[in-house]
Amino acid sequence: MCWSATADLTAGTVITAVGVVCAARTARARRTRDLPVAALPLLLGAHQLVEAAVWSSGGGCSAAATAWAVIALPLLAVWVPFGVLVAAGPGTRRRLWGPPAVGLATGAVLSYGLATRPVTAELRGHTVGYGVDVPYAPLVVAGYLFATLGALLLAGDRRLRLLGALLAAGAAVCAALWRLEFASTWCAFAAVASLLVLGWVRRPGAADSAARPA
């Protein structure tokens, strides 16, 4: 999330461009198991671009708000842990199965909530407040954080663990600022996270290093 439509559009364009570079470099290197993680900036960039549409629509219950929630909630809850699992390689996957399993369960609950209840967006100065009604919200939030951040923090590669720590700190800071209705700053953390993914992709032997404890 960013503090305006222009900021979201700018951040989304830059982050998506980084994602294209990450995916293309990974494809050229034939490290296909790295592709889900390498494509993460594409999802983050698309997320920012969708929110630019939410700003432009003035909030309310819209297709853009629903698309924002779909990317942010069930898609990332499944994409991130399975991406880390695949990148880790067959030799060290046993300890990484927890986050994907929790991610599937969490994603199923979130998908049900989004399919049966409307998503609303409210513009609050320099923030956007989203209304998503899901059952057992505290448990779902815990499962979501374990699936996404837990997967990265359990990875063998130092850069993926750093990415997890950055996103954890970013989530805490952004949540605090959002509650104060000061400004949405997630786009800045998403941009830095995308650069970390780019560095991970460009690192020689990235696919193999993700499989080794560091």
Confidence bin at 184 (pLDDT 50/70/90)? low
Q: Is residue 99 within 8 Å of 154, Cβ to Cβ?
A: yes
CA distances 62 to 127, 130, 132, 134, Å, are: 17, 11, 13, 18
- What tens digit of pLDDT does each residue of 157-182 get? 888 999 999 988 888 876 665 554 44
Percent of the chain with pLDDT over 70: 87
Confidence bin at 207 (pLDDT 50/70/90)? very low
Within 10 A of 67 (CB to CB), how many other CB atoms are there? 18
Higher pLDDT, 2 or 149: 149
Domain for residue 114, yes or no?
Answer: yes
Domain for residue 106, yes or no?
Answer: yes
- pTM for the model: 0.88
Domain for residue 214, yes or no?
Answer: no
Reply yes or no on whether the pLDDT at 1 is more than 80: no
Which domain range does residue 176 map to?
5-209
- What tens digit of pLDDT does each residue of 41-63 get? 999 999 999 999 999 999 899 99
Total domains in the fold of the chain: 1
Q: What is the pLDDT of residue 170?
A: 80
Q: What is the pLDDT of residue 103?
A: 97
Percent of the chain with pLDDT over 90: 60
Domain for residue 51, yes or no?
Answer: yes
Q: What is the pLDDT of residue 59?
A: 87
Mean pLDDT of 16-45: 93
Q: What is the pLDDT of residue 129?
A: 85
* Lowest mean pLDDT, pick from 13-22, 38-47, 83-92, 106-115: 83-92
What is the average pLDDT value for the chain, to the nearest integer? 86
Reply yes or no on whether the pLDDT at 4 is more than 80: yes
Q: Where are the alpha helices (DSSP H) in the chain?
A: 5-28, 35-38, 40-57, 63-70, 76-88, 98-116, 137-145, 151-153, 158-179, 186-202, 206-209
Q: Read off the CATH number of the domain in which 83 is found.
A: 1.20.1070
